[in-house]
Structure 1
Amino acid sequence: MNETAIQDRAVLTTADLLTHWQGHRRLTRRVIERFPEEQLFTYSLGGMRPFGALAWELYGVSLYTLQGMVRGEWPEPQFPQALPQDRAAVLAAWDDLTGQLDEQLPKVPVERYHQPQAMFWATLPGHAAVTYAIDNEIHHRGQGYVYLRSLGLEPPPFWER
């Protein structure tokens, strides 16, 4: 595919995509911060996982997506059996990944967003893989909002990304 065809297909620039993704990540970070420490990894409703477990999942999906987009290779992820169960560890990992996204996503060749990417669960264009990571975060952050409200806590405004 030539450069003109790729640009004709673009709706967002890589910088726009990064800004959008990082906006969602900033908002999710504020949700993590809003949880009382003692309930981040214990509180749940209706059989859903605690928000701390969801936060680790969001971290893992974003890391997997970034690495896949950068390398163009998507091996099956190896998740640790036990992750730290404290907010400080989640936020430290979150912040580290924020820096990685800022540094590495702009280096992804633009054509990779349009090429099929063979992930361990499906083959999708790169832009769909990134969209999945963002959508997954929005979905689970919504669960966090429900948890916070049920605890009598006001979640951060969703439009302040």
Structure 2
Amino acid sequence: MLEMQSFIHRWNTHREVLHKLVDLNQEGLAEYKPWDGSMTYGELALHIAGSMEMFANTVIRGEFTPPQTKNEWTTIEDVRNLVHRYTESTSSLLASITEEQLQQEIALFGKTAPGFAILNMALDHEIHHKGQLFTFARVAGVSELPFFM
């Protein structure tokens, strides 16, 4: 399970930055969207926070498990609270994953992959969208951003 502990540590280094990004104090940032049809900053932060939980549940159950929660928010404080809740619940889920679950083949998005590959894809997904949050924040006028990890 050393591999899983290493994965959780790597995920935590990136997730800590997501917390810093939702802690930014910029007026109107949560509602900011750089183009019509894009997610807002708050929606994207919650998409990131909820996705790893969805993928962890998929690995645990051995089949695609869509998100079970609603991301209802009004303020950046709501976004912060939801991101913190997702982080806590996802940490518990990741810690519960067994070696057998990491090795099992799971059908996802028209392909089959072992659980560990799905978790690595989920981390890449989180990192990709976190980069978008950095861009959203910079374009919205935030001058001081945290380091990416």
TM category (shorter chain) comes to: 0.7 to 0.9
- Offset, 1:60: 2.2
Aligned length: 147
1:123 aligned to which of 103, 112, 126: 112
Q: When the two structures are superposed, what TM-score results if normalisation uses the length of structure 2? A: 0.82
Distance 1:109 1:155 in 2: 36
For structure 2, which runs of at least 5 residues remain unmatched after alignment? none
Distance 1:84 1:121 in 2: 32
Aligned to 1:90: 79
Structure 1 letter corresponding to 2:81 = A
- Offset, 1:108: 1.1
- Offset, 1:53: 1.1
- Root mean square deviation of aligned Cα: 2.4
Matched residue SS, 2:39? coil
Aligned to 1:69: 59
User: 8 Å contact 2:8–2:94 — kept in the other structure?
Assistant: yes
- Offset, 1:83: 2.1
Q: When the two structures are superposed, what TM-score results if normalisation uses the length of structure 1? A: 0.76
- Offset, 1:20: 0.6
- Offset, 1:19: 0.8
2:127 aligned to which of 127, 138, 145: 138
Q: Which has the larger radius of gyration?
A: 1
Runs of 4+ aligned residues of structure 1 deviating over 6 Å after TM superposition are none
